[in-house]
Amino acid sequence: MSKVIFRCDGGKQWYGLLQGRFHERLRGWLLRKPTPAVQGLLLFPCNAVHFLGTREPLDVLFLSSSGLVLRHHRHVRPFTKPRSLPSAWGVLELVSESCPSEWEPRRFTWRSV
């Protein structure tokens, strides 16, 4: 698990965690509260997510390996049905309250902090 900064093509940025191990991806937001230091999780490789145990609504973005947004689900509430996209490389989960209300991100980049 690495601390990273996510940045979208509009310039907005979030702090979060890069989660590439199976147990990290499985845990996701379970028993974890968003904080200013952790506003998002990038799960990879990953093409499906569940919302069991989440505490906050999430914006869920399915990404290609180059950061291109393939699909965007806004304001997904806790305990709703899982989402998937077989062609995705990874999933970026951002706390919805930290996202602009009207936005259509097309690409994300990330770097270690």
* 5-44 residue pLDDT tens: 999 998 889 999 999 998 888 888 887 888 888 899 999 9
pLDDT tens profile 47-57: 999 998 888 89
Q: Which two tokens stand for residue 14?
A: 């979030």
DSSP state of 69: E
For residue 89, the 8-state DSSP code is S
Q: What is the rounded end-to-end Cα distance, in angstroms, of the chain? A: 12
Sequence length of the chain is 113
Give yes or no for residue 1 having a pLDDT over 80: no
Q: What confidence tens digit (pLDDT) does each residue in 66-86 have?
A: 999 999 999 999 999 999 999
From 99, 105, 103, 97, select the one nearest 67 (Cα to Cα): 105
pTM of the model: 0.91
> pLDDT tens-digit profile of 94-110?
999 888 877 888 999 99
